[in-house]
Each structure stands twice: as C-alpha cells, then as structure tokens.
Amino acid sequence: MIRAQLRRLRTAAGMSQEEFGRLVHYSGSMVSALELGQRPLDRLFLARADEVLTTGGLLVHLLRLAERDGQPSWFRPWLDAERSARQLRCFQPTLIPGLLQTENYARAVIRCDDMLSDDEVERRVHARLDRQSLLAQPDPPQFVAVVDELVLRRAAEDVRGLMVEQITHLVASLERPHVSLHVIPAEVGLHVGLSGPFNLARGADGGWVGHMEHQIDGLVVDGDHEVATLLARWEMIRNGALSRRQSTELMKEVVTSWT
C-alpha cells in the first residue's frame, strides 16, 4: 500500500522516477526498486518523499502503522495499552527498558538473535524507536522504570562505548520531569523482582493493565487479582531501589569508571 501510494503521489505530481530521485537525493533506479518492492522501504527516503510531495507526513505515518501491525499478535494489546496510558511502570532486571534504549543499544540487543535477517533487525529497531515517541508527545505519560545495577555494568570491552552512550542517554532522559529511573544496588542481593520483568500501564479511567514477556511471547494481564499482585510486587521492587538522585549519581559513576 505504501509503495502504491508513493507511485500514485509521484505520478500525480508529474515527476518521473529520475526527476523525483534528484529531489529526494536518490537515483532513479533506487526509486524504481523501492516502488517495485525490490528493496526494503527506507524511513529517510519516505521522510524526504513526504517533504517533496507535501503529503503532511503521510508516507512515514503509513510505515509506522505497518510496523505496528507487523508486531506479533500477542504484543499488540500491550502496545494499545501503552499508547493510551497516563502512567507507565517498568521493571527490567536484565536490560535497559525499551522506551529508554538508544538506537545502537536496541540494535545490539536485537542482533543477539542470530536467526533474524538484517532487514528484520532494522525493522524491529525502528519499531522500538517509534514506541519511544510517546514520551516526547505534548502530554506524555508518567514513566517510572526500575533496573538492577547489573544492567548498567554488563559491558565487556567490545560494547563499553555502546554502554557509555546508553547510560549517558539515560542520565539525559532524567532531565524530563515525567521520566524516572531507579536502580536496585547490587548489595540488595535476592529480591522478588528476580522472578522476571514486567510492565504496568494505568489508563485514563484509572484501571491498570500488566504485561509479562518471556523468551517466546508475552501475556497481557488485566484480571483484578493478577494486576493487584503485580502492583504489590512493583511497590516491593521500587522500595528496594535507590532514589532518583542516587540512581543518577550511580550511573554517572559507572560511566566515569569506564572513561
């Protein structure tokens, strides 16, 4: 559908593929390959096409919709809850939360699955980055995340530069008043959160929805008892974490120790 719209808009503007290519800084043969589906859609290309064709961002918007609909069926209910949430809670004992990941960190994590093609890796990276836009919208939800200290310190020498960039991004993210990140220090030892990661979303109606993910798929939880259990565990986990200021200082200390 996106390729057909692109071709229709270009033709309606009276431009050949060569003429259009010059305006968007792509060759005519590349434009042809993109329109015919011989190359994957490129976000930068579509953004330039939107500008040249004055579509108001139509093509990029269609790509976002396609990426959302391309998400696994088990993940879509959570995406809907996440988009409409007024409050979000996230506990991650092993990774930086997806809504706070840099592009390079997200790509490195997704590439750990060597069964994915390069195109699929990039599709998933872009989908993850698009999710982050909800934190930058005019009336964003309050987002509070808790991670284990080990998440920050898991950095062999070959990914240390990547982790410096990621943690620096986390510190910068905390300058936004609606974003908080708390770290459970290593000395806490065993705690209830080690049973696994989970997310919580509170909608405009005040109701909470939970989400738990594992190696194969995930589960949206909306039963009263299950949600109450996750909320109780969230409170226990949050109570064991450092304050916002202490967490920020710890992150800065980690970066300083590497640089």
Q: Is the pLDDT higher at 31 or at 42?
A: 31
What percent of the chain stands above pLDDT 90? 52
Label residue 9 by pLDDT band (50, 70, 90): very high
Q: Is the pLDDT higher at 68 or at 29?
A: 29
Phi/psi at 213 (5° precision)? -125, 145
pLDDT of 197: 92
3-state secondary structure 60-90: HHHHHHHHHHCCCCCCHHHHHHHHCCCEEEE
Look at 5-9, 59-63, 72-76 and tell me which has the smallest mean pLDDT.
Answer: 72-76
Is CATH 3.40.430.10 the classification given to domain 1-69?
no
pLDDT of 195: 85
Q: Mean pLDDT across the stretch 148-172?
A: 90
Q: Mean pLDDT across the stretch 14-27?
A: 91
Average pLDDT for the chain = 88
229 to 209, 226, 235, 238: CA distances (angstroms): 12, 5, 10, 14
Q: Is the pLDDT higher at 74 or at 200?
A: 200
pLDDT of 137: 86
3-state secondary structure 100-133: HCCHHHHHHHHCCCCCCCHHHHHHHHHHHHHHHH
pLDDT digits (tens, 9 = 90+) for 178-224: 999 999 998 888 888 888 899 999 998 899 999 988 766 678 888 89
Reduced to 3 states, what is the DSSP secondary structure of residue 148?
strand
pLDDT digits (tens, 9 = 90+) for 96-150: 999 999 999 999 999 988 888 888 888 888 888 888 988 988 899 999 999 999 9
Q: Is the pLDDT higher at 108 or at 2?
A: 108
Domain boundaries in the chain? 1-69, 78-100+129-257
Fold observed for domain 78-100+129-257: Endonuclease; Chain A (3.30.870)
Has residue 249 got a pLDDT over 60? yes
Label residue 59 by pLDDT band (50, 70, 90): confident
